[in-house]
Structure 1
Amino acid sequence: MLTPPEKPVHWNVDDVVVTEPDVIRRAIGAAAIGNITEWYDFGVYAYFEPTIKKVFFSGLGDTVGTVATFGLFAVAFLVRPFGGMFFGPLADRIGRNKVLAITMIMMAGGTFVIGCIPSRASIGIGAPLLLLVARLLQGFSTGGEYGNAMTFIAEYAPDRKRGFLGSWLEFGTFTGYLLGAVLVTVADAVLTEHQLLTWGWRIPFFVALPLGLVGVYLRSKLADTPAYAALEKESEKREKDKAGKDIRTLLRIWPFLLVCMGLVIVWNVTNYMLTSYMPTYVSDTVPNAQGGGVSSTTSQVLQIIVMAVALCTIPFLGRLSDRVGRKPIAWTGVGLLIVLAFPMVLLIQAGSVIGVFLGLLLMGLALICFSSTMPSTLPALFPTEVRGAGLSVSFNVAVSLFAGTTSVAVGGLVGLTGDLNWPAYYLIAAGIVGAVALWFLQEPNGRRMWGSAPAAGSQDEAREVVEHQDREAVPA
């Protein structure tokens, strides 16, 4: 089990960071709005996959068009590590909020631009090339968004409530995905195919711009708080005193980087399997391979119901993790993947409405075991001075190489082999990786952040922390 290499410290009440509940709520809202914007785009793209294939890859054939569409979805993940390498260290030096405002503008702008691109029938090969540029912009900005958003909330949250408060970041994720899915489903239902292919598909992408403007406004208001002013001052001091030491520090703590990557892989393979591959698998891949199945609209509605269940459940699991720990809940998710991956996929292949719903629901339950715990678990793996850099780099490298490519990899393997069980194989492999990472993880529940003073939500709690600091202190 990995433990941060720190010496025990005796804390006084004045040393404990106390953040007012109102400030915490504003911090959560400002961070979560970025996730709403990011996952709104993913929801729109995943649900519009058949339409995007017709607009940008018409005439290439069904399999080639599907792989090309998923490839453009996955290509954004190739540049995410570069975004993480750029924005992560930058956030450690100039402050989280400034970087989050930049990434918010870039994400919203990239999504909006997609809605402006002419079709392949209008400008030929230029259409998918412009889509590629927009996706690269989104990927680069996302590389600096999610890791810093996790850090942002984790550094504001009291130690004893970090699981619950961190889970609201993923509440924003599912809210954005649901918003995108609902808009696409409505568009599919009320527009003719001609309307959808000519102009209707653009509308959901245009909505990203006002979402982004709201996020920038919320984050700019938070920058005025005394708590964040102190964080900015500390960041500027680190820039002067410790510039150039980030890489050396990260190399020294490489085991923590690997644990982080393992947890990110199991979490995000499950995530992208459910949210980006399953819409096509349910309504296109399975019916084409064996006939029957559910209609596209029914599939979309079932996905929305599963996402709504997850949305409502995540905060409760986050709160539970503050009582029982993060690891028991994460172990539950790993167990669901390893033991029930095949039942999930076989239920979906059965083609009945009940079977598809139960299969998706089981996959969703496994996902929320990670979504409710990882935002509070991963930031605790890194010391304050390199938290933004360590989390952004390890998170985005893992997503880019293994998780973000889930749709194109599984779609390609199913098409190449004709074996519809590849989603199950992939989920089991991810579960094994997650089990290894969890084995080495030290339970972070209730502990102060590595390199930071204890954090509390009130002066009474601060005094209680000091009274029990022998229990609360991180072991040497």
Structure 2
Amino acid sequence: MSTRAPARSPGRVRAIVGATVGHTIEFFDFTVYGFLAVHIGATFFPSEDPTAELLSSFAVFGLAFLARPLGGFVLGPLADRIGRKRVLVLVLTVMAACSVGIGVLPGYDSWGIAAPLVLVLLRTLQGFSAGGEYGSGSAFLLEYAGPNRRAFGISWLTFGTTAGLMLGITVVTGLTAALGDATMADWGWRIPFLLAAPLAGIALYIRAKLEETPDFRTMSETGSLSTSPAREVLGRGRRLALIVGIGAMHATCFYAVFTYMPTYIGTVNDYGSTFSLVSTMCAGLATMVTLPLVARLSDRIGRRPVLLAGSLGFAVLVFPVFAAITLGNPVLALASQLALGILTAVYLSASAAAMPELFPAAIRSTGVSIGFNIPAAVFGGSAPFVATFLIQQTGWTPAPSIYLLFTAICGAVAACLLKGSDLHADDLVDIDESRATALPAATLRRSPDPIH
């Protein structure tokens, strides 16, 4: 049978677009908190020290990431048992409900200590939800992408994550310009959270119309679903170690560039929130353009060279970029964040595919949910807090670059250790798009080695 990539079809495109739109809304709800951290800190953690307010707000941001592994342990295996689509609908519902809850939650002045405690609970539930979103979403898109187009297909998941951030930046920037800083600090910051209700309604409608992946349908029909996906994943120590190394760089560079950078750029030179959000928007647009282009390259030349190019490039430039932002030149600051955004896209275009490829279809959602959410919690979620803490303790403004350099090295080492035998390149179902159903297991075909 030919190993030619399957032709694009309405069914495949509909699945990818539907999953991407839902993922965009999911991560708009999850990450908009970071853009409003200053206002949230003042509302729920009032203090005479603005840095203490910001640290408290970022601590809650990081706490949501600590809940992600728990969500991965519960929702990842669930997606491997009942289907990717059902879990994708469930997690979006939970995420949206918690966002609306944050939007209407009274502040410390009204509820006292109960206000930050409820905020912590809602953010924890959001982290739990996000822990199931990435694993089930990556399995869904990878399996619909088909052989020879896996990196390109799954790049739309990261595209959706970035688009969610961009949507958050657009909403926050527009509201700040229209309402002013004082009104945003008073009550305007609540509006983006309340928007979760109509946006999630649209995304849930789209997700409900999607069909389950051909791979899952085939496994369900043939009785080959895993009965203990978590146990099987935990028994694959080498692959878990690789996904932790790859995921550390994946999570840290993304959240540092798109969640911490707006605060860093806005405060180091007193540029203000509007400039920093516009700068982040430019970096996000560059990332969204770069992602699918480099992903197609990764499908042709392999995962390892692209992973190395992204991680080593990030390691070389991270200190000069953070130092350049302190020089007081707004054009240089914008160009610096843009450079890191493009390097982030290069790395993510390959890492987003390499992580789910480390596990066979029967335990793919569980493998990504457990393996990726651990480094996402330890490294990605803590990035804003650690970066702020390093500056506070050392008095050295570019100090966050040390943390990012460490995770970039982790990503490079993991890429060097990656072998062709680590990736499952032969268990994707070839799709007969005229019927939009999965072919029998005998039609499975092997695609070229994605390592090179």
Q: Report the TM-score, using the length of structure 1 for normalisation.
A: 0.86
CA 1:231–1:199: 2 relative to 1, 3 Å: farther
1:115 aligned counterpart, secondary structure: helix
Residue 145 of structure 1 deviates from its aligned partner by: 0.5
Residue 258 of structure 1 deviates from its aligned partner by: 0.7
Match of 1:119 among 101, 107, 110: 107
Residue 316 of structure 1 deviates from its aligned partner by: 1.4
Partner of 1:140: 128
Q: Is 1:205 the counterpart of 2:193 in the alignment?
A: yes
2:148 aligned counterpart, secondary structure: helix
1:305 aligned counterpart, secondary structure: helix
Q: 1:365-404 maps to which residues of 2 (within 5 A)?
A: 365-404=342-381
Structure 2: distance between partners of 1:422 and 1:295:
21
Match of 2:411 among 419, 423, 434: 434
Structure 2: distance between partners of 1:172 and 1:22:
19
- Percentage of pairs with the same residue: 34
Partner of 1:52: 40
Partner of 1:344: 321
Partner of 1:360: 337
Partner of 2:254: 271
- Does the 8 Å CA contact 2:145/2:152 hold for their aligned counterparts? no
In structure 2, runs of 5+ residues without a counterpart are 436-441
Which segment drifts farther, 35-44 or 120-129? 35-44
- Does the 8 Å CA contact 1:160/1:456 hold for their aligned counterparts? no
AA of the residue aligned to 1:207 = L
Residue 453 of structure 1 deviates from its aligned partner by: 4.8
Match of 1:257 among 230, 240, 243: 240
Partner of 1:5: none
CA 1:357–1:226: 2 relative to 1, 3 Å: closer
Larger RCO (CA within 8 A; separation ≥ 6): 1
- Does the 8 Å CA contact 1:46/1:279 hold for their aligned counterparts? no
CA 1:470–1:443: 2 relative to 1, 3 Å: closer
Structure 2: distance between partners of 1:368 and 1:26:
24
Structure 2: distance between partners of 1:253 and 1:390:
9
AA of the residue aligned to 1:341 = V
1:395 aligned counterpart, secondary structure: helix
Partner of 2:12: 24
- Does the 8 Å CA contact 1:381/1:450 hold for their aligned counterparts? no
Deviation digits for residues 364-383 of structure 1 (CA, Å, limit 9, x no counterpart): 11210122222222111001
Q: Is 1:230 the counterpart of 2:213 in the alignment?
A: no
1:372 aligned counterpart, secondary structure: helix
Partner of 1:323: 300
Over aligned residue pairs, what C-alpha RMSD do you find?
3.0
Q: Is 1:332 the counterpart of 2:309 in the alignment?
A: yes
Structure 2: distance between partners of 1:134 and 1:295:
29
Partner of 2:439: none
- Does the 8 Å CA contact 1:379/1:387 hold for their aligned counterparts? yes
Residue 230 of structure 1 deviates from its aligned partner by: 2.4
- Does the 8 Å CA contact 1:116/1:202 hold for their aligned counterparts? yes
AA of the residue aligned to 2:340 = M
Q: Report the TM-score, using the length of structure 2 for normalisation.
A: 0.91
Deviation digits for residues 241-260 of structure 1 (CA, Å, limit 9, x no counterpart): x42x4344223321011101
In structure 1, runs of 5+ residues without a counterpart are 1-11, 288-292, 460-465
* Number of positions where the alignment pairs a residue of Structure 1 with one of Structure 2: 446
- Does the 8 Å CA contact 2:387/2:400 hold for their aligned counterparts? yes
CA 1:474–1:203: 2 relative to 1, 3 Å: closer
Give the number of the structure whose alpha-carbon radius of gyration is greater.
Answer: 1
1:50 aligned counterpart, secondary structure: helix
- Does the 8 Å CA contact 1:268/1:403 hold for their aligned counterparts? yes
- Does the 8 Å CA contact 2:91/2:130 hold for their aligned counterparts? yes
Deviation digits for residues 267-287 of structure 1 (CA, Å, limit 9, x no counterpart): 111111111111111112x24
Residue 18 of structure 1 deviates from its aligned partner by: 6.6
1:350 aligned counterpart, secondary structure: coil
